[in-house]
Amino acid sequence: MTDEKSLFKTVTLGRTTVGNRVGVAPMTRISATSEGLATDQMVSYYTSFARGGFGLIITEGTYIDDKYSQTYFDQPGIVYDEQVEAWKKVVDSVHQAGAKIFMQLQHSGSLSQGNRFRQETLGPSAIQPIGEQLTMYLGEGSFSTPREATKEEVTGVVASFVHAAKHAQLAGFDGIEIHGANGYLLDGFLTDYTNQRTDEYGGSTENRVRLSVEVSKAIREAVGNDFTVGIRISQAKVNDSSHKWAGKETGAEIIFGELGRAGLDYIHVSEYEAWKPAFGTSGASLASLAKKHGKVSVIANGHLEDPKKANEMIENGVADVVTIGKGALANEDWVHKVKSGEPLAAFKPEEVLRPNAKIKEFEV
Ligand SMILES: Cc1cc2nc3c(=O)[nH]c(=O)nc-3n(C[C@H](O)[C@H](O)[C@H](O)COP(=O)(O)O)c2cc1C
């Protein structure tokens, strides 16, 4: 036995009691049908983590409407009844294997690179995203310049998130996670250089976080108090991995303070290395700033596959749960291995994410 005991204590997130503090981070695998239906392969894939001892699984980002939210071809959706039915199989199987499961709800914003409903993209402002499309998700070349969302469309986005959250509830999920990270729509609004709006959604930090707050409040109102609702936040983006909030700690105080008052049960913070100072070379980590200013449960993510580091985040009171991404892809039985002191396998991107991120035979 190792000494990582705190990781394996039960925890309650909102109304969800989780058997341990270790979750699978949301990971896009573009393995749904072209109509966005979860497949039997996805049932096996998600269930393998539950069998491997993870207490909580957060699904890949799932699109929320039949307009601008789809981000990648073969991404699953939660828009239509058939999509709800397909996800039920994943949920039931994961539950039978003893884990809890939240669905991550995603609106692509300007980073869409494969949407079967629309050719053009929608963003806070008509600013072309920097960087290149992700080849592991079947993209190529630069991103398109999005059209600036009208006020009516912004209201429509809130309604789409609500509709999707209710569908996730119908499918039997234990909760939902709003994707407010990585440069997609909500993070696009939050980010100074992608949001040049002059209305109440642009300018100050309070204005830039407003859409995330409105989505959070509207979902809470729609799903009631018995369904767990969280949000994921990051500084980095898939197309800008070194981005830092210009407002630093003051900005973090506003962002986490506003979100903490929006009816959320948890804030999931993703950084490259979760324990490192959020800004510069000293000071608090982003997870601890979320805890301090958000005053709700915190999930921490970012290179926490080393059980000692993961355990420290819990023992220091910085996080209530940790999530593991690539380390879970390499060890779907990470929890069982750590409990029994077995060595962990190293993540091999060339085997799992090449030629693209689709689920591989050996993973199911
Ligand atoms: C293949 C892959 C797909 C990902 N897809 C998502 C996603 O759909 N939503 C999300 O919020 N983060 C996504 N991420 C980011 C992970 O959730 C996580 O933040 C990142 O891998 C860092 O954690 P790690 O160091 O434990 O791997 C993805 C990461 C990988 C490797």
Q: What is the pLDDT of residue 268?
A: 99
Helices (H), the chain: 40-51, 81-96, 151-170, 185-190, 205-208, 210-223, 248-260, 286-294, 307-315, 326-330, 334-340, 349-352
Q: What is the pLDDT of residue 4?
A: 72
Give catalytic status of residue 184 as yes or no.
yes
Q: What is the pLDDT of residue 64?
A: 98
Range in 3-7, 9-13, 174-178 with the lowest mean pLDDT: 3-7
pLDDT (tens digit, 9 = 90+) per residue, 25-50?
999 999 999 999 999 999 999 999 99
Q: What is the pLDDT of residue 3?
A: 60
Give the type of residue at 134: L
Measured CA to CA in angstroms, residue 309 lies from 4, 49, 146, 273 at distances of 10, 20, 40, 10
Mean pLDDT of 253-279: 98
Ligand 1: centre distance to CA 239 (Å): 13
- 104 ligand 1 Cβ < 6 A: yes
pLDDT (tens digit, 9 = 90+) per residue, 62-76?
999 999 999 999 999
**Closest residue by Cα to residue 360 from 334, 337, 336, 330:** 330
- 237 ligand 1 Cβ < 6 A: no
What phi and psi values does residue 63 have, to the nearest 5 degrees? -75, 155
Ligand 1: centre distance to CA 324 (Å): 8
Ligand 1: centre distance to CA 184 (Å): 13
Beta strands in 218-305 (DSSP E): 228-234, 266-270, 297-301
Q: Is the pLDDT of residue 1 over 50?
A: no
- Percent pLDDT > 90 in the chain is 99
Ligand 1: centre distance to CA 185 (Å): 17
Mutate to test the pocket of ligand 1, among 239, 326, 354 (most ligand atoms within 8 A of CB): 326
What phi and psi values does residue 125 have, to the nearest 5 degrees? -140, 160
Separation between Cα atoms, residue 327 and residue 363, nearest integer Å: 13
Q: Which atom of ligand 1 is nearest to the CA of 179?
A: 11
- 181 ligand 1 Cβ < 6 A: yes
pLDDT (tens digit, 9 = 90+) per residue, 194-253?
999 999 999 999 999 999 999 999 999 999 999 999 999 999 999 999 999 999 999 999
Separation between Cα atoms, residue 78 and residue 80, nearest integer Å: 6
pLDDT (tens digit, 9 = 90+) per residue, 164-178?
999 999 999 999 999
Q: Is the pLDDT of residue 329 over 70?
A: yes
- 327 ligand 1 Cβ < 6 A: yes
Q: Is the pLDDT of residue 2 over 60?
A: no
Six-digit token pair at 65? 């409407």
Six-digit token pair at 331? 């060890």
Find tokens 């981000």 and name the residue. 71
Q: What is the pLDDT of residue 5?
A: 77
Element of type H or E holding 178: strand 175-179
**Rounded mean pLDDT of the chain?**
97
Cis peptide preceding 355, ω within 30 of 0: yes
Contact 304, 324 (CB under 8 A): yes
Q: Which atom of ligand 1 is nearest to the CA of 303?
A: 25
